[in-house]
Amino acid sequence: MSSIPPPTPPNQPPYNDPNAWRAQRQAMKAQRYAMRAQARMQRAQMKAQIRAMRRGSITGPVLLLALGLVFLLAQTGKTSWWMVATWYGRWWPVVLIGAGLILLAEWAYDHQMNPDASQRGRRSLGGGVVFLLILMAFFGVATWAGTRIYEHNLGEGLFNKDLGAWDHMGDEHDEDASLSSVMPKAEGLIVRNPHGDVTVTGASTDGQVHVSAHKQAWSWKDSDADDKVRRLEPLFTDNGSSLVLSVDSVEGGQDDLTVQMPAGTSLTIEAGRGDISVTGLRAAVKLTQNHGDVSLEDITGSVDAHIQDDDASVQAHAIHGALLIEGRSGDVNLSDVTGDVNLQGDFFGTTHLERVNGVVRFDSSRTQFAATRLDGELEIERGELQGSELLGPLTLNSINKDISLDRVAGSVKIYNRGKGDITISNAPPLAPITIDNERGSVNVGVPDAAGFVLSVQAKHGDVENDFDVPVEGSDSMHTAMQTVGHGGPAVTISTQGDVVVRKSAQAPLPAVPPAPAALAAPPAPKAPKLTAPKPPAAPKMPKVPPSQTF
């Protein structure tokens, strides 16, 4: 029995059959391959399912729209490329913050719409959007570094704001020139200078226009520079109604003009890039400025200024006539204007006005202001408006602005959208006051002996007054309504915040505005005391010696 081998287990090849063992190994290998293929198919199916559940983000389209809008504004001249570069170099991290906020908002929206994580999927940024964000960050850092180097180290030694950056390639060549022309009677002067400063004075007393030109050209070749300087020569022409002084537009060149003209001749300036200065004219002035500062002083006549530069500084002093400034500019400083002042457009700096004997109007996208006269000062910034010695009717519509008006005479009507505090002191005689402030405190001072009808509504705020008017209401709304004294103009206040109505002692505004202080003339020198010289004494005759005999 012990010599008989044990039986072969079922489904096993015989021990001595190599073909059977080989077949079994091949079957096991094929089974492993099949299992691997099945695992690959499962992974591919899971990836396809994840891709199907994945949704793209709107970050990329929003970035492209924003870039396209900025490029369109710069290309159409609504803003300058230098402004775009300067702004982006400072604020480029806002791009990354905006992209993150968009992704966060999308994540919150997805969780709100589908709380089940297995069915929600996820948002994703494409490789192109990631590359665009990296490129914009790199460009922002480079722009910031370039603008800092320009502003703090090189200044106008590298670039001149009168020309573009690429116009300064090469060596600088200068040349001065002068010319004159008789000013025809009953005609005006038109100055056209695409690149360069324009300085005009009414100092000519011989009936002629005298011009001094400082020509500058940049080029690597002397012959090319000489040709540019030659083409920059100013030229006089007569179009039948005006004498025209013009300079050709030369790439890589500019011409600074100093003009002396008769004071009684009207003036029109059409400037591209460069500062404008006008002084001492007794006629109307019109100017168009695309890039540069504007200075106007001692002008008797109307002034129309069209500015298209967000960084431009506009100054006008001692203007005897209507003044209009429209377009886009930075800081505006006006004083001693006898005539209406009208500011229309967008002003990106501080607007400061002093002593305007005429109607004052300020109309921008965020502030609309009007007053009959300004004896004191008025300053308007993005989030603040301050004024003193104003004659109404005064109207003001603003957005998110703190308002402070002192010694205001005449009716007042203010509407402030958004958030801001309002403080007003009224000068006698009291006129109707209407204040509608969406959110913020209101503080109104009225003459202590005035009679008026008070109506106050304060949401979520307290009401205080110096006229013993009872306050009613609950925590969400307080009201104060009563006739004070013998009645009179209505004082109506509505706001979401605290209200104070106080007594104030203000002197009334004069009927005629005070004249601007004139410069005192230097005292005349005393005439020297002259005395007639004494007549010379007659010479003494010499004594005649006695006669001698030799």
Q: Each residue of 458-475: pLDDT tens digit?
A: 999 999 999 999 999 887
- In this structure, of 18-27, 46-55, 85-94, 101-110, the range with the lowest mean pLDDT score is 46-55
Same domain, residue pair 449 and 480: yes
Same domain, residue pair 45 and 65: no
Whether residue 77 sits in one domain with residue 30 = no
Instruction: Find out whether 301 and 282 touch, Cβ atoms under 8 Å.
Output: yes
Say which DSSP state 155 is in: G
The answer to whether residue 253 sits within a structural domain is: no
pLDDT tens column, 349-383:
999 999 999 999 999 989 999 999 999 999 999 88
Say yes or no: 27 and 118 in one domain: no
Token pair belonging to 546: 């006695």
Cβ atoms of 290 and 273 closer than 8 Å: yes
Residues 148, 33 share a domain:
no
> Which among 129, 157, 185 is the end of a domain?
157
Asked if pLDDT for residue 133 goes beyond 70, the answer is yes
Claim to verify: residue 372 and residue 488 sit in the same structural domain: yes
Q: Residue 380: its pLDDT value, please?
A: 95
Query: Do 411 and 461 share a domain, yes or no?
Result: yes
Choose between 174 and 116: higher pLDDT.
Answer: 174
Q: Do the domain assignments include residue 313?
A: no
pTM of the model: 0.66
Burial category of 439 from C-beta neighbours within 10 Å (exposed 0-12, middle 13-18, buried 19 and up) = middle
Q: Find the length of the chain.
A: 550
Coil vs helix vs strand at 53: helix
pLDDT interval class at 163 (50, 70, 90): very low
Query: Does residue 196 form part of some domain?
Result: no
User: Does pLDDT of 147 surpass 50?
Assistant: yes
* 295 vs 517 pLDDT, higher one: 295
Residue 225 lies in a domain: no
Residue that finishes a domain, picked among 135, 157, 179: 157
Q: Is residue 70 part of a domain?
A: yes
Predicted confidence band of residue 17 (pLDDT cuts 50, 70, 90): low
State the pLDDT at residue 305.
96
> Quick one: 26 and 152 in the same domain?
no
DSSP string, 401-420: -EEEEEEEES-EEEEEEEE-
462: domain range? Answer: 366-508
Each residue of 406-453: pLDDT tens digit?
999 999 999 999 999 999 999 999 999 999 999 999 999 999 888 999
Q: What is the pLDDT of residue 154?
A: 41
Q: Please, what's the b/e burial string for 287-308 (b: 16 or more CB within 10 A of its CB; e: otherwise)? A: bbbbbbbbbbbbbbbbbbbbbb
Report d(CA 265, CA 189) in Å as an integer.
7
The confidence score (pLDDT) of residue 531 equals 43
- Residue at 204 is within a domain: no
Q: What is the pLDDT of residues 80-113, one digit of tens each?
A: 677 777 778 778 888 888 888 887 887 777 777 7
Instruction: Indicate whether 109 belongs to any domain.
Output: yes
Average pLDDT over residues 165-189: 79
pLDDT at residue 530 above 80?
no
- The mean per-residue pLDDT over the stretch 157-164 comes to 44
Bridge partners, residue 492, by sequence: 434, 455
Residues 381 and 500 in one domain: yes
| Residue 3: predicted pLDDT | 57
Q: What is the pLDDT of residue 507?
A: 84
pLDDT of 257 higher than 60: yes
**In this predicted model, which residue has the larger pLDDT, 161 or 103?**
103
> What residue has token string 């005391």?
529
Instruction: Count the domains in the chain.
Output: 3
Mean pLDDT of the chain: 82
Provide the pLDDT for residue 549: 37
Say how far apart CA 246 and CA 232 lie, in whole Å. 10
pLDDT on residue 166: 44
Confidence of residue 401 (pLDDT cuts 50, 70, 90): very high
Residue 161 has pLDDT above 60, yes or no: no
Residue ending a domain, choose from 131, 157, 183: 157
Asked whether residue 41 falls in the same domain as residue 77, the answer is no
Question: Same domain for 397 and 480?
Answer: yes
Same domain, 67 and 23: no
Whether the CA torsion 532, 534, 536, 538 is positive or negative: it is positive
Q: Cβ(424)–Cβ(433) under 8 Å?
A: yes
> Is 271 inside a domain boundary?
no
